[in-house]
């Protein structure tokens, strides 16, 4: 019976490592991915310690330190599974750390053999006090996991409701068997180990299905209502000032200045800044001054990218010559305006020019 339990634990520990590798391979570390990977690693440490503790000796406590995070981190997993837009911030990490801290202290005391420098009574009293704290905090963490699964249950339906029912049912039964019922007193040690192995495998399997489901069916992003503010009605003054702004931008090529601001244009035209901003939106129909400037800059960049003699210049040089201070904003603005990246646009123009040349020949 003990051999069966150890085999199940080893299979489960191998599964946890596969999950850690899968999360790392995905390269996405949101709240669910990160907490699930940490939980799987902690569970791997727990199961490995339980199987190999006789061979590891005192070093088994080091695995126990990492494994002590299972209950508290599992709360983060359930929180990410069932709470939309759940984020892990420093208060959550502080709570997780405080939950498994008593277990860490116990393991460190045993690893460094604190009983050799403490009286037996003090050592036992310290361990008992820490263990009481550990049991209390771990029980609270397990209860929070159950609460997270039940949060908003009445509003769910279909597969989402079935997922929560499956999770709460399996989790509730396994936690009850391992922590509430006096399993160790009622059965033999080998049977207790087998029951613990079955519970560990069950929780791992059910939560794996839940995590996989959430990866495929993430929580819907809440829709925010966008309020569109109508631009101010254009006046003759707005249109006249708008023509002056365009003349300054085009004739004096002011748009090539990377740090050009509305205030700079206002000083140049000797107009109040608010009038310049109004002329940009009402007189010229631009969303704002930056969008207007970028329109000129992108047109300038397109001409450079279409020029054969500029074909071997780095994209960064094109961006700087067009008035952009950084490559990232240039790439985003160019793709928003043309639907292509600057490099793809240049390649397309080169191919088009080659087709024209071949047709002419």
Establish if 226 belongs to a structural domain. no
Q: pLDDT tens digits, residue range 81-93?
A: 998 877 888 888 8
For residue 311, pLDDT over 80 is answered with no
pLDDT tens digits along 44-80: 998 998 888 888 888 888 888 888 888 888 989 999 9
Statement to judge: residues 175 and 269 lie in one domain: no
Q: Which two tokens stand for residue 113?
A: 């053999």
Question: Residues 282, 305: one domain?
Answer: no
CA gap 63, 59 in Å, rounded: 7
The structure tokens listed for 283 are: 């007189």
As a whole number, the mean pLDDT across the chain is 84
Looking at the structure, do residues 137 and 247 belong to the same domain, yes or no?
no
**Distance between start and end Cα atoms, the chain:** 85
Both 35 and 78 in a single domain?
A: yes
CATH number at residue 178: 1.20.1070
**Cβ–Cβ under 8 Å, residues 87 and 31:** yes
pTM, rounded to two decimals: 0.60
* 195 within 8 A of 183, measured Cβ to Cβ: yes
User: What's the domain range around 101?
Assistant: 2-216
Q: Assign 24 a pLDDT band (cuts: 50, 70, 90).
A: confident
Same domain, 245 and 321: no
Claim to verify: residue 44 and residue 119 sit in the same structural domain: yes
204 and 259 both lie in a single domain: no
The reply to whether 267 and 323 lie within a common domain is no
Q: C-alpha angle 326/328/331, rounded to 5°?
A: 110
Structure confidence at residue 356 (pLDDT) = 46
């Amino acid at each position: 019976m003990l051999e069966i339990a150890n085999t199940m634990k080893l299979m489960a520990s191998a599964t946890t490592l596969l999950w850690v590798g899968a999360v790392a391979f995905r390269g996405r570390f949101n709240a669910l991915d990160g907490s699930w990977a940490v939980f799987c690693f902690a569970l791997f440490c727990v199961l490995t310690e339980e199987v190999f503790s006789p061979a590891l000796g005192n070093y088994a406590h080091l695995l126990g330190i990492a494994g002590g995070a299972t209950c508290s981190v599992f709360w983060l997993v359930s929180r990410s599974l069932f709470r939309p837009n759940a984020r892990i911030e420093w208060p959550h990490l502080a709570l997780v750390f405080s939950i498994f801290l008593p277990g860490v202290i116990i393991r460190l005391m045993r690893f460094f053999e604190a009983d050799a420098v403490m009286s037996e009574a003090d050592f036992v009293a310290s361990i008992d006090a820490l263990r009481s704290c550990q049991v209390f905090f771990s029980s609270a963490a397990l209860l929070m996991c159950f609460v997270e699964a039940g949060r908003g249950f009445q509003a769910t339906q279909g597969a989402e409701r079935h997922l929560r029912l499956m999770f709460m049912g399996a989790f509730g039964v396994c936690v009850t068997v391992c922590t509430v019922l006096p399993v160790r007193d009622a059965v033999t040690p080998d049977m207790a180990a087998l029951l613990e192995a079955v519970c560990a495998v069950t929780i791992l399997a059910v939560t794996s299905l839940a995590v996989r489901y959430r990866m495929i069916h993430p929580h819907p992003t809440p829709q925010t209502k966008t309020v569109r503010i109508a631009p101010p009605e254009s006046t003759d003054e707005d249109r006249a000032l708008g023509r002056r702004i365009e003349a300054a931008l085009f004739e004096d090529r002011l748009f090539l200045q990377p740090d050009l601001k509305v205030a700079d244009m206002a000083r140049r035209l000797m107009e109040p800044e608010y009038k310049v901003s109004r002329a940009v939106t009402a007189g010229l129909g631009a969303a704002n001054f930056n969008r207007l400037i970028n329109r000129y800059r992108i047109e300038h960049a397109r001409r450079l990218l279409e020029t054969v003699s500029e074909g071997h210049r780095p994209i960064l040089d094109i961006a700087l010559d067009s008035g952009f201070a950084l490559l990232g904003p240039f790439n985003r603005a160019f793709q928003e305006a043309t639907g292509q990246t600057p490099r793809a646009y240049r390649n397309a123009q080169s191919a088009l020019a080659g087709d024209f040349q071949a047709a002419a020949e």
